[in-house]
Amino acid sequence: MVRKRLLQTLRGSGGGSLCLVFAPAGYGKTTLVSQWLHYHPHQFAWLSLGPEHNVLEVFWQYVIQSLQQIQPRLGHEALSIWLQSPRCNDASVVISLLNDLDSLSEHNQSDDPITLVLDDFHYITHPELIGLINLFLDHLPSSIRVVMTARALPDLKLSRRRANGQLLQMGLDELRFDEREALEFFHRCMALPQPDTTLSALGHKTEGWVAGMQLVALSLKSELASADTLLHKPQLDRHVSDYLLEEVFQKQTAERQRFLVLSALTPKFCAGLCNAVSGNGDSLQVILALETGDLFLVPMDNHRTWYRYHDLFRQFLLQMAQQWAPVERIAYCERALSWLQENGNYVDAMELCIQHELWPQAHRLLDDEWLQLEQGVAGSRAYWLSRMPLAAGAEKARVRNTDQAESPLETGCEIEPLTRREQAVLALIQQGLSNKAIAESLFISPNTLKVHIRNLYGKMGVENRTQALLKLQSPSR
C-alpha cells in the first residue's frame, strides 16, 4: 500500500540532509523507503546493515562499494589509504570520501542529490564508528542525502542537526496507519468484507501497527477468529500473538509448511536456493503464491529475486525447524551452504553456519581463499570468531597440555617468548572474545590492543586470528 502522505514528506528532503525513519519491527520502515525510491526515481545506493558491519573497516568498505555502483571512481583514494596503512587515522579515510562527494556535486547536472540508504542502522553501535559517521554527517555535501532506517534513535547529535535544518525525522507516530489508511489497507490490500466501523475499530486496536493489522486480516480471512472475538479480547499483543502465527502456519498444506521452514533456514532466499534445498523445481511458483497471499514475505530488490520473511514470522519458522531431527535439519542446512558457496554468497553462508551452530563448516569457510579475496569480508573475521566457541580440537589440545604448560600459550607450537600482556591477549583470543571485549577486559584502548595483536601475530608467524588458533592446535614438532 502506497503511503502518500509519508512519501510527500520524504520528497521534502534535500542534499546534505539526514532522513531518519525509526520505529519498532513491523511498522514498514524499509517498505516506505523502497516506495519512495520507486515513486521518486533517482540515483541511490542501498546498504542493508547487519551486526557484521559494526566494524570500522567493514562499514566504510561496504559504504564505498555501494556508492561505487553509482560512480565507480568514488572512494578509490579512501580505500587505498586503508590498504596501504591499515593503522592510519580513520578520519582521513572519511575526509577523503567527503572530498570525492564534494567534487561530485560540482559536476552534477541534476538538482536532485544521490541517496545513500543505510537500512537497519540500529546494528551500528561501535563508539568509534559512530564518531566517524557523525564526522561524515557534519560535512555532508549537497551532492548526497543519507537515509537511515532504525528501530531506535541513534546517537548522531540529532538535536543539533534538527536545529541546523539538516534532519528530517519520522518516528512511530508518523508511521502508524491512521484511520483512513487502515481502512484502505483492510479493504484494498487484504480484501476484507467487514463494515468500516468494525475495520476502523480493529485498526485502532492494533494501534496502527501494520504487522499486527496483517495478522488480524489473515486470521479473519482464514476464519480462525471473528472480528467480535478480536475486538473483545482484553488486548491484542502488538509484538505478535503466538496463537495467530501458529494458526496461520497450521492452516497451510503440509507441502507449504515444509517450504516455509526450509526457506527460513537462511536470512534471505531466492528460487534457485530453495530449489537446491528442497530438491524440487517449483520454488518460484511457490514464492509468487506466498507473495500473492501476503504471507509475511518482503522482497529485497526491485526484480523480486531475493526475499526474506518478516522477522517475527521467521523466528517462528526457525522454532519449527528446531523440532526436526538434528540430522535432517543439518542436512538441509548443508544443502543451502553448498549453494551459497557455489554462488558466491559467502556472508550469508557464514551467517547460516553460525545461526545453526555448524562450527566445523564455519571454520572451513574462514580458512577458504574467498576470505582473502572478498573486499570488506576479511574485516568481519573477528566478529564471526567472537560468535563461535573454541573448536573441539583446540579445547582438547588445551586440556592435553594442561599438565605440561605453565600457561594456555605453551601448547606445543613454536612461539617466540611473549610478554605477560601478549599472553593475556592470546588467552582471550582463544576464548573467542572480540577485540572490543578484549580491550574492555584488559582496560586498554583499542589502539593499544592493535599494537599488542600486531606484535603477537609477528612472534607467532601468523597474519590473522584463524591462523593463530590453528597454530595453537598444531602438535609440537
pLDDT of residue 338: 93
pLDDT digit string (tens) for 194-235? 999 999 988 887 778 887 788 788 778 766 567 777 777 655
Q: At what angle do helices 29-39 and 4-11 cross, to 10 degrees?
A: 70
CA distance 36 to 402: 61
Determine the distance from the C-alpha atom of residue 82 to the mean position of all C-alpha atoms in its chain, rounded to a whole number: 24
Whole-model pTM: value is: 0.59
In a 13 Å sphere around the CA of 360, the CA atoms on its Cβ side amount to: 4
CA distance 26 to 240: 10
pLDDT of residue 242: 60
pLDDT digit string (tens) for 311-335? 767 877 888 898 899 999 999 999 9
CA distance 316 to 248: 11
CA distance 36 to 3: 9
C-alpha cell belonging to residue 48: 542493508
pLDDT of residue 286: 93
DSSP state of 409: T
52, 136, 391, 454 from 463: Cα distances, Å:
21, 31, 19, 9
pLDDT digit string (tens) for 348-393? 898 899 889 898 888 888 876 555 545 455 556 767 777 777 643 3
Four-residue CA torsion sign, 145, 149, 150, 152: positive
Helix (H, G, I), strand (E, B) or coil at 8: helix
Whether the Cβ atoms of residue 26 and residue 211 lie closer than 8 Å to each other: yes
Which segments of 258-365 are extended strands (E)?
A: 297-299, 307-309
Q: Which residues make Cβ contacts (< 8 Å) with residue 299, sequence separation at least 6?
A: 291, 306, 307
pLDDT mean by block of 10 residues, the chain; 477 residues? 90 92 86 92 91 87 91 86 64 89 67 90 93 94 93 91 93 90 90 90 82 80 71 53 62 89 94 95 91 72 81 80 91 94 86 89 76 53 73 37 37 56 82 82 73 76 80 60
Read off φ and ψ for residue 284, nearest 5 degrees.
Answer: -60, -45
- In which residue are the cell numbers 542446512 written? 333
DSSP state of 126: -
For residue 269, list its beta bridge partners.
307
DSSP secondary structure, 14-28, as one string? -TT-EEEEE-STTS-
Residue type, 19: C
240, 259, 278, 311, 353 from 248: Cα distances, Å:
12, 14, 22, 15, 29
User: Greatest CA separation found in the chain?
Assistant: 81
